[in-house]
Amino acid sequence: MASVSISSHLNKAVRQDYMSLPQGGKCQVTYIWIDGTGEGLRNKTRTLDNEPSSIDDIPEWNFDGSSTYQAEGSNSDMYLIPVRMFRDPFSLDPNKLVLCEVLKYNRLPAETNHRASCREVMEVVKEHCIWFGMEQEFTLFGIDGHPYSWPPNGFPKAQGPFYCGVGADCAYGRDIVECHYKACLYAGVNICGTNAEVMPSQWEFQVGPCEGIEMGDHLWVSRFLLHRVCEDFGVVASLDPKPMKGNWNGAGCHTNVSTKQMREAGGLQYIEQAIEKLSKKHSEHIRVYDPRGGEDNKRRLTGLHETSSIEDFSAGVANRGASIRIPRQVGQERKGYFEDRRPAANCDPYAVTRAITATCLLDSEGAEESK
């Protein structure tokens, strides 16, 4: 059994005594932002005199960027710009979670603020009503770095019974997954499903459909909620694209894409046109589909374990070994959506959705500008 954190053993009943105290009409607002790694999330909380009714009621704030890999100590103040508000499932109503963009001292976007450029592209193509749905895979670990519920000195049984499995010998950590699901629903995150994955202790949840910039906003907040729920249970959620070496599945963030034209009768032709454009930008997309320019995905996209090769572009109907999958129902109905299976679990959804949108809908721009 993997080890859990000491904090998770604190007396939660005592905590609840305090959490149920009245707030005197005040509101706690937790600001959330992406740090300088492009993967990590940070947060801090302040008090507002009244419950905000919209994002416009939440003031800008700042933080020490030298402690988040985002600035030098001699010029470390960074701006937090509120962009989307959610209900807080941990301290409950009227308290809020607020996703923020990060600006540097000169009010230009921070290096890992890919939302700014994504927002610009989504505004240009808004008449296309582009929808996304992202399938976030993750793996549960103990704080000792060992997969949760794996034998301490060996491996579980081979992959096979775990995908969508049920039973104590097949589903590891379901309590965490179900709590995260409810937390997302309470918060207002557009989560649409969850399931156990192929590798034991690996799970997936799906967010969407979301239009344009909303996809990145909702996925990042769902990730924050996942890490926060795991903190309560004393375990760690890893988004590493290949958390375990050997004959074990990796973790991706398959991205489903659909424009208004694709969803209408005869939309398959527009899906095929988009795939053709994507085929010509394969290497550029690989570079923005994980935070390390494709290096993380090299460990995952091997052509094995339901992946395509990172070196080659491919597409096919119902083919989970292809770069792009057209679902069988879409092929039959000749309209709908396509699935890009290349993004890694630790991708930045703003970079991914911007790259796909630019390649498929903008003639003069490509995925490389999403970096």
Distance of CA 259 to the CA centre of its chain: 21
pLDDT at 60: 98
Domains of the chain: residue spans and CATH: 6-112 (3.10.20.70), 122-362 (3.30.590.10)
Measure the CA–CA gap between 60 and 17, rounded to whole angstroms: 32
Q: Pick from 284, 255, 224: which is nearest to 131 by CA?
A: 255
| Range 206-236 burial, b when 16+ CB lie within 10 A, else e | bbbbbebbbbbbbbbbbbbbbbbbbebbbbb
Residue 150's alpha-carbon distances to 2, 164, 234, in angstroms, are 7, 18, 16
Strand partners, 204: 137, 195
pLDDT tens for the chain, 371 residues: list them.
458 999 999 999 999 999 999 999 999 999 999 999 999 999 999 999 999 999 999 999 999 999 999 998 788 999 999 999 999 999 999 999 999 999 999 999 999 999 999 999 999 999 999 999 999 999 999 999 999 999 988 899 998 999 999 999 999 999 999 999 999 999 999 999 999 999 999 999 999 999 999 999 999 999 999 999 999 999 999 999 999 999 999 999 999 999 999 999 999 999 999 999 999 999 999 999 999 999 999 999 999 888 999 999 999 998 888 999 999 999 999 999 999 999 999 999 999 999 999 999 996 544 444 43
